[in-house]
Chain A
């Protein structure tokens, strides 16, 4: 695990930020493309990890499951009408193995409802593994560790 050069760190930070903007701009159809085909996306309450019963709320072990989630959100699911806003920071990068980068980042997610009222939705940490495919940074793993275990109503759009 050596020093990661600043160009790679910059591109990984860009990936984290672009990911947040994609969701917040309601460009959900583009969300799966932040991942490689053989990916893992999970949302796990932090309290479940502490208790060693790591049950996820969302479990997708390939990109097709992410594509399905978008189709279902658009066409076969009724959920609360809202806008998302993610704030991502405290990004740290370390090279785990040749070409696989371990990334930690903190996030806060807010939601704004049809009354125009913005409320705190969730906070947590991303524990990611990033690889470069044809020069583009992609998530191989994105594990969303959710501090806010008492989910405000529901999780519909991605964190």
Chain B
């Protein structure tokens, strides 16, 4: 195990990624401190998950357990899920409603803003026992996080110097959230998967549209996403997030292109569905996009795939495993047919989804074979080398390099020949 500081990045444009980032425990520990608890915003929950006063949700930033709740004024607070007394896990349930949080161990009690409000036997009994005179409850509140919301999405940060949430999200992502959350939503439920791979593999995967038309045969075969459809990517000014979209049924294939795709084995027109109702698509937004995937550095994806709506939160569980937490939702004003369509389309996403389980297999296969290599690198050249700019084709891995550039900035890694990060740029 290294201390996570000594890592060679041999390409100035981040087109080479050293394998130890995926399995070195020292690097993993450094990520928790410098990325997840660094000067960024991490997804915590949707407001619709805690709509009422006293509602709470257990969530995470990196592998640190966090509770997010709504206090008596309706204000949202978040804190590390750890009693300030002896370090006991304070909230045990995934969801619930409460007036306060009381630790099971010694019954220390906190209000919904994280202030310590009760210590049993603080003054002892009949002059015996009790806390010392110097003990002041005001100094023993929970470790609280900065909280900000945008369009009903709750983000938290350990940093007090973090930029504003709006600055962090930046333009394309705010526009996408404006559209996705333009009316009240209803939570349909949650899924969890434990994928035997490194968390960053999953984020890379979401930045990489090159794989989408190859690995995911279902969506290629049934026309949900083909490399030949119109689409694109939009990145923020720092190229750390990415929105991917493709326009349904927009293939502009020449006969020769079609033959090429068949020869490549990415498109099997002999297959058909006995019940095609699942792959119907209703253009709810009016932009024709059957796929819209927004990956926000470092740990959340907002997705619209056909008519499914979901967030996917990444929870690292050590260097070799991560949990993917899905929250599926619908619009409160759905008609019955649309709600039924969303239900049928769950078969395409989630832990058994026709266009999602393959990513888990790809990640597991990386983790099985990278071993102890310190001087071997994954190769990220599809879409070109050099500057990281919005790609004009789905055949690209360029946004993956944007992810690694910002990751290296936070981790303090200097790629060989790369210009130093300009102060104030972040």
Residues of A at the B interface (CB closer than 8 Å) are 43, 45, 47-48, 51, 53-62, 64-65, 67-69, 71-72, 75-80, 149-156
Contact = CB atoms under 8 A, between A and B. Distances in A.
Interface stretch (B112-120, B190-198, B236-244): B190-198
Nearest to A57: B352
A67 to B, nearest CB: 5
Given A45-B191, A64-B275, A72-B218, A77 B354 contact: yes
B215 interface: yes
Given A76-B268, A77-B218, A153-B196, A56 B190 contact: no
Which 7 pairs of residues, A with B, have the shortest CB-CB distance? A55-B189, A64-B274, A64-B275, A53-B189, A154-B357, A155-B352, A151-B351
A106 to B, nearest CB: 21
Nearest to A158: B352
25 contacts: A45-B190, A45-B191, A53-B189, A54-B189, A55-B328, A56-B343, A59-B343, A64-B273, A65-B344, A68-B273, A68-B274, A75-B268, A76-B217, A76-B221, A76-B268, A76-B271, A77-B217, A78-B215, A80-B364, A150-B193, A150-B194, A150-B323, A151-B191, A153-B195, A153-B196
A58 to B, nearest CB: 5
Given A75-B271, A151-B194, A156 B188 contact: no
B351 A155 contact: yes
Nearest to A73: B354
A32 to B, nearest CB: 10
In which size bucket is the chain B interface?
A: 35 or more
Contact of B274 (A43, A67, A79): A67
Interface of B: 94-95, 187-196, 215, 217-218, 221, 268, 271, 273-275, 278, 323, 328, 343-344, 346-347, 350-352, 354, 357-358, 360-361, 364
A55 B191 contact: yes
A75 B271 CA distance: 8
Contact of B357 (A45, A62, A75, A77): A77
A68 to B, nearest CB: 5
B217 to A, nearest CB: 4
Contacts of A154: 193, 195, 351-352, 357, 360-361
Contact of A56 (B346, B358, B364): B346
Contacts of A43: 352
A57 B346 contact: yes
A14 B278 CA distance: 33
B323 A77 contact: no
A69 B268 CA distance: 16
A47 B274 contact: no
Contacts, number: 116
A153 B360 contact: yes
Contacts of A57: 191, 346, 350-352
B188 to A, nearest CB: 5
Contacts of A61: 344
Contact of B354 (A48, A54, A60, A72): A72
A63 to B, nearest CB: 8
Given A65-B275, A153-B361, 17 more contacts: A51-B190, A55-B188, A55-B328, A57-B191, A57-B352, A65-B274, A68-B273, A68-B274, A71-B271, A76-B268, A77-B358, A79-B361, A150-B192, A153-B193, A153-B196, A154-B360, A154-B361
A149 B358 CA distance: 19
A76 B196 CA distance: 22
Contacts of A56: 343, 346
B358 A79 contact: yes
A145 to B, nearest CB: 13
A15 B194 CA distance: 32
B331 to A, nearest CB: 15
Contacts of A45: 189-192
Nearest to A67: B274
B347 A59 contact: yes
Contacts of B271: 71, 75-76
Contacts of A60: 347
B189 A153 contact: no
A83 to B, nearest CB: 16
B275 A51 contact: no
Nearest to A81: B361
Nearest to A58: B352
Contacts of B268: 75-76
Most interface-central of B95, B357, B358 (chain A CB within 10 A): B357
B364 A153 contact: yes
A68 B276 CA distance: 9
A143 B195 CA distance: 25
A58 B352 CA distance: 7
